Chain A
């Protein structure tokens, strides 16, 4: 069964500090992993996906198949990064349904 675990409900850091949002997954095949973000009063939107290997808004995430993790990292957090972050998983090719974690609320303090 597909499962996504985000162990932290809340995460609070100071501006300029590094931030890491954890995501672990369970999937028997080759997954496709995503991070979605929801800023206050905005719709949920894609932040990044592992196959693109891009850095978006300074965030990166590396798929570690050995540890079944896809942690989201940013070296220097900004106040505008405060948002709800969801890790999500789908089957290879992204054609299957997307399963989401419970989310981590990130607060970046001035």
Chain B
């Protein structure tokens, strides 16, 4: 079975803190994605990566950055967390069919 693992299920951070969300996949997928999921807004793409060290902005990249140093790992970084970044963050990998992690619920106080 494809496994996409997100390192943290729940995080609580303060405004201005730096936040790292990590995602690892074990199926050698080239494509990896970070979405945020909000009620009534669905899934919105933050960033995606087609290969190691490659990244492309999605629909809502402001306030976020990413890192892909190894094929299996894709990290989402919030340089200075704000309250409007309180959300569920979903990592996915795949080509066409995406496989999702369980999500990281971030609360920024």
A-to-B contact residues, CB < 8 Å: 6, 9, 32, 34, 36, 43-46, 49, 86, 90, 93-95, 97-103
Known: A97-B33, A97-B58. A44 touches B45 (CB 8 A): no
> Which residue of B is nearest A49, CB measured?
B97
Known: A99-B45, A101-B42, A103-B42. A43 touches B96 (CB 8 A): no
User: Do B48 and A102 have beta carbons less than 8 Å apart?
Assistant: no
Q: Which B37-80 residues have a C-beta within 8 angstroms of A?
A: 40-45, 48, 56, 58
User: Do A102 and B101 have beta carbons less than 8 Å apart?
Assistant: no
User: Do B102 and A43 have beta carbons less than 8 Å apart?
Assistant: yes
User: Do A34 and B102 have beta carbons less than 8 Å apart?
Assistant: no
B-to-A contact residues, CB < 8 Å: 31, 33, 35, 40-45, 48, 56, 58, 90, 92, 95-103
The residues of B that contact A49 with a CB separation of less than 8 Å are 96-97
Q: Which of A32, A45, A86 contacts B43 (CB 8 A)?
A: A86
The residues of A that contact B44 with a CB separation of less than 8 Å are 100
User: Do B40 and A9 have beta carbons less than 8 Å apart?
Assistant: yes
Interface of A is mostly: mixed
User: Do B97 and A94 have beta carbons less than 8 Å apart?
Assistant: yes
Q: Which of A45, A46, A94, A102 contacts B42 (CB 8 A)?
A: A102
How far is A90 from B40 in the complex, measured between Cα atoms in Å? 21
How far is A43 from B101 in the complex, measured between Cα atoms in Å? 6
Q: Which of B33, B42, B100 contacts A43 (CB 8 A)?
A: B100
